[in-house]
Amino acid sequence: MNKCSKCGTTEEEILETGFVGCEKCYELPKVREAVTKLFNGKTHKAN
């Protein structure tokens, strides 16, 4: 399981709560993926 090297939050935790501990959390692969999907979804809906 990956965790943030800066704040120590695990990616599982972030995906579960939807909250990141810090800006470095976004560099975790699964978090990145989730954020990308989220943004794509929002962009799609907005259009």
Using CB under 5 A as the binding rule, whether residue 6 contacts Zn ion is answered as yes
Q: Do residues 30 and 3 lie in contact, with contact meaning Cβ atoms separated by under 8 Å? A: no
CA 4 to chain centre: 11
Which is closer to Zn ion, CB of 24 or CB of 30? Answer: 24
Length of the chain: 47
Least distance in Å: CB of 31 to Zn ion? 9
Q: Which window, 13-21, 27-35, 38-46, contacts Zn ion (CB under 5 A)? A: 13-21
Q: Could you say which of 24, 30, 34, 35 contacts Zn ion (CB under 5 A)?
A: 24
User: How far, in Å, are 4, 31 from residue 36 at the CA level?
Assistant: 18, 8
